[in-house]
Structure formats: C-alpha cells, structure tokens
C-alpha cells in the first residue's frame, strides 16, 4: 500500500512538472495578436484575433537587417499591408498602433504599412520567436523604411494592433 502511494505521488508530481514547463508555449488557438479599432471585419466581437493558425496561413518570409539581432535574418510573419486588407479599416484610419506587453505603443502610418514590407514577425530563421528575442510576435522593418522608422521602432512583445 505504501509503495502504491509513493507511485501515485510521483506520477502526480511528474504531471505537475510537465504542465508547469509547458505553460510558456503558445498553442494553436491561443491569441497572439488582438486587432481592434476602426475595422470593418472582425472574428471575435469587436476585434479580429490572430492566433497561430492565422500566422501559419497568412505568413510570408523575407530577409531583414535587424539592428538588435543581426543582418540577413529570415523573418516570417504577417505583413501589415496584408493585415490592412484582411481587417478592412475605415477610410478615416491613418495610424496603425502596435502595442507591446508593457503598454508602449509604436505608431505606423497606414500609408507606410501599404508601401513598405513591415512585418509582424513570428519566426526568425525557421525558429519561433520566444520572449528572449522579442516574441511571440515582434515588428520588423525593411531597410527602405528605416529613415522613417529608426531602430527604436522595432517593437518586441507585440500583443495588440489598433487601427485609428
């Protein structure tokens, strides 16, 4: 009986450790980005939710020179121009505000989002971004946008996009 109790306790402890270690992983249906504001298309109340499935479906891969992680990195994610087409913002929208976990906002002119390949990146060089390198989602700018959007605009830990 005593041995059975130890085995049950060991299994319970092991299961608890497994659950605890997996808590940082994003699963398929978890919200990565909440898109809100003056948008015409929603999929969750007044918002549009981007989860892993949306990133899997809508992502493109491009090479960027990242001021923090190095040059020539292959980022994969959703272009802001594609997001604009997806959520159909009103004609009055002029700003796309990217909001990080700490509440800091990084504003991008909607005209710039349509002109430049600005990306909500989910992967770098084939690996999912994690908290240590700006993930699960960060913004990446192409070289031709760097005059308008300096290095400090490379927002890490983006959780929300607001069209205003």
Question: 73-82 pLDDT, tens per residue?
Answer: 999 999 999 9
Any idea what the CATH number is for the domain that residue 48 is in?
A: 3.90.420.10
CA distances from 150 to 10, 102, 142, 143 (A): 53, 20, 11, 10
In a domain, 6, yes or no: no
Q: What is the pLDDT of residue 28?
A: 55
* Residue ranges making up the domain that contains 110: 28-163
Half-sphere exposure of residue 29: CA atoms within 13 angstroms, side-chain side: 1
* Total-model pTM: 0.82
Is residue 121 in a domain?
Answer: yes
Which two tokens mark 91? Answer: 């004609």
Beta bridge partners of 98: 106, 161
- Average pLDDT, rounded, for the chain: 86
Tell me if 116 sits within 8 A of 64, measured CB to CB: no
For the chain, percent of residues with pLDDT exceeding 70? 83
**Mean pLDDT in residue range 112-123:** 98
Q: Does the residue 1 lie in any domain?
A: no
Task: Give me the number of domains the chain comprises.
Answer: 1
């Amino acid at each position: 009986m005593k041995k059975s109790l130890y085995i049950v306790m060991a299994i319970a402890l092991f299961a608890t450790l497994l659950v605890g270690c997996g808590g940082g992983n994003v699963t398929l249906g978890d919200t990565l980005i909440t898109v809100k504001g003056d948008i015409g298309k929603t999929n969750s109340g007044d918002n549009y939710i981007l989860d892993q499935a949306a990133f899997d479906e809508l992502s493109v891969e491009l090479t960027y020179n990242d001021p923090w992680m190095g040059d020539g990195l292959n980022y994969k994610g959703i272009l802001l121009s594609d997001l604009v087409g997806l959520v159909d913002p009103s004609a009055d929208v002029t700003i796309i505000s990217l909001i990080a976990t700490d509440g800091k906002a990084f504003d991008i002119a909607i005209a710039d989002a349509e002109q430049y390949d600005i990306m909500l990146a989910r992967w770098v060089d084939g690996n999912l971004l994690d908290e240590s390198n700006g993930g699960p989602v960060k913004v990446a700018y192409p070289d031709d946008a760097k005059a308008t959007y300096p290095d400090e605009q490379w927002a890490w830990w983006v959780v929300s996009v607001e069209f205003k």
